[in-house]
Structure 1
Amino acid sequence: MPHRLTRATNVALGINIFLLIIKGIVGIISNSIAVISEALNSFTDVLVSIGIKIAVKISRDKPDTKHQFGHNAAQPLAAFILAVFAFVVGINIVEESVKRLIEPKDIKISTSVYVVLIFTIVSKILLNRYQVKIAKMFKSPAIRAASIDSINDVLASSIALLGVIGASMNLNYIDSIAGIMVAMFIFKSGYEVAKENMDYLMGRSADHQFDSKIKDITLKINGVKGINDLRSHYVGNKFHVEIHIEVDKDISTKLSHDIGNEVKYALEEIEEVQKVFVHIDPI
């Protein structure tokens, strides 16, 4: 598992650095705000990739005296911080695009511009498919956030390509409009990532379907007569579960304890669960 997650972050980082370099060069040569916006978008992607790489590494660290329940919050925290940064970059792109809309600048379109943008679209589609697979496999919110960003990059690059086509027809205002639209996709990506990871950071409870799964597993354990309370919340990207089970009041304390442990171990086998706290209620 660690190897696959690390490889996923390294692949994304390598692709984003390469795209940043080629889009930066072509953007400067062409002076197209749509392409320059794409270069800035790739710059944020590089920072996102670095942040996710660090967060994935930290999240795998074992619990210590200061973080006794582990470091699972590292991934959603990194994703949220990077989402905020995406908003800042988007604002700067909108500002420059509006300036160019008011005072148009000369744009030099060459074949390399089309090649770079088309290459970006194709590579980001492939990267998104890979990231979605890894995110589902390991339940990684950071990789999931990166996959959202990648598919939004596909849309942003497509808009930039239309802007370049417009500029090649001496319709420079289309390039400026494309720059603004690229920024909108950056905003969209940041919003989606922030919204998804806010649940982890705020400790949202599990949904009814997950609660039902918890109850079904618990009630199948020999000695459990019923459940009178169940609570859960995210700690990082994993759930902590508190459950009150009912057992026969006439059985020994040891047997009650053993039943509680069986419930605990059974529920902690669920991939989304990190820790289970069982309270015994004799009836």
Structure 2
Amino acid sequence: MSQPHAVGEERTRLLRLATRASVAVALVLIALKATVWLSTGSVSLLAGLIDSLMDAAASIINLFAVGYALKPADKEHRFGHGKAEALAGLAQSAFITGSAVLVLLQGINRLLHPEPLETAWAGIAVMVFSIVATLGLLVIQKHVITRTNSTAVGADSLHYRSDLLLNLSIIAALLLAQLGIQRADALFGLGIALFIGYGAVRIGLDAIQILMDHELPDEVRAEALRIARAVPDVIDVHDLRTRESGQHWFMQLHLELPATLTLADAHARGEQVRLAIMERFPQADVLVHKDPA
């Protein structure tokens, strides 16, 4: 079984890697997109710039929120500080929604008053670089999410995945503008704004579920029940309750044990169940209650 301390240290290292990489990528893309947007005036490129600004803001929020969430439990927060991650996800949702509205308004204005784009090729080059940088970040985030199941990094990864489609659409808009189809830039900008808004809603709903102590996925609950029932002398398991708080899962369950067991034996069976579930889910804090059948 993995040592809890070692598991915690690895999780901390991975989370800090993901959040710092996210901030670094966002800041580099902001600088490049701002420079090229000033020379082109493209609405779709403005959408990409605003999205990167929101990415940076959200990533910085994540950086501090994840750092706070990793603090160990104390006497004032006995269940830890993990919900700071969900609050960060909610803040991201608000930021992204605001950016979507801004791009939507700019797109409508440019659709009504089209303007020719200048130096579109520079914009295309920047978007190609953005795609490469985003792909690199997503590889890091996927590895971290697989190992930590972080809500905040998951939310961050969601809008960086949407950035890939956004960047491709910006390239398409700039190419069409070069061919003389000026309204394509505005139309793509509107489509991107709607797509960003959809992503914001998803992030917000996921964060709300965690803040409302939504149960863990059915497959996790089923696996925990299976593990508990496989322990000798366990007749049945009931009243399984679960919730998530940042990097930690909390599980409570009742074991039905033979009434003839001594208190010491019943306690030993409860410990077997607790340790078996924690071996399968190292991030879980398991509380076991013993009932005589």
> Which bracket does the TM-score occupy, shorter chain normalised?
over 0.9
Given the alignment, which residue of 276, 281, 285 partners 1:271? 281
Question: Equivalences for 1:65-144 in 2 at 5 Å?
Answer: 65-144=75-154
Residue 45 of structure 1 pairs with residue 64 of structure 2? no
1:75-127 Cα offsets, whole Å, 9 max, x none, are 22211220121011100110111011112234212432111011112221222
Question: Equivalences for 1:224-235 in 2 at 5 Å?
Answer: 224-235=234-245
Answer with 85-94 or 75-84: which moved more.
75-84
Answer with 216-225 or 77-86: which moved more.
216-225
Residue matched to 2:172 = 162
**Secondary structure of 1:268 counterpart:** helix
Identify if the C-alpha distance between structure 1 residues 104 and 225 changes in structure 2 by more than 3 Å, giving closer, same or farther. same
> Match of 1:178, as an amino acid?
F
Residue matched to 1:16 = 26
Q: Which runs of 5+ in 2 are unaligned?
A: 1-9
1:221-280 Cα offsets, whole Å, 9 max, x none, are 233222233222333454322211112222322332332233223323333653222221
Contact 1:229 1:244 in 2 (8 A): yes
Contact 1:200 1:237 in 2 (8 A): no
Residue 56 of structure 1 pairs with residue 66 of structure 2? yes
CA distance in 2, matches of 1:8, 1:240: 24
Contact 1:267 1:273 in 2 (8 A): no
Residue 20 of structure 1, CA deviation: 0.4
**Secondary structure of 1:228 counterpart:** strand
Q: Which runs of 5+ in 1 are unaligned?
A: none
1:151-203 Cα offsets, whole Å, 9 max, x none, are 11010111111111222233221111121122122113212322333332221
CA distance in 2, matches of 1:76, 1:207: 17
Contact 1:63 1:71 in 2 (8 A): yes
Given the alignment, which residue of 45, 49, 72 partners 1:35? 45
Contact 1:34 1:163 in 2 (8 A): yes
Residue 31 of structure 1, CA deviation: 0.9
TM-score normalised by L of structure 2:
0.89
CA distance in 1, matches of 2:282, 2:82: 12
Residue matched to 1:217 = 227
Residue 16 of structure 1, CA deviation: 0.9
Count of residues in correspondence between the two structures: 283
Residue matched to 2:254 = 244
> Match of 2:268, as an amino acid?
D
CA distance in 2, matches of 1:55, 1:271: 23
CA distance in 1, matches of 2:82, 2:61: 14
TM-score normalised by L of structure 1:
0.92
Measured on the aligned residues, the alpha-carbon RMSD in Å equals 1.9
CA distance in 2, matches of 1:88, 1:25: 22
Q: Percent identity?
A: 22
CA distance in 2, matches of 1:15, 1:89: 18
CA distance in 2, matches of 1:226, 1:101: 65
> Match of 1:248, as an amino acid?
P
CA distance in 2, matches of 1:90, 1:4: 30
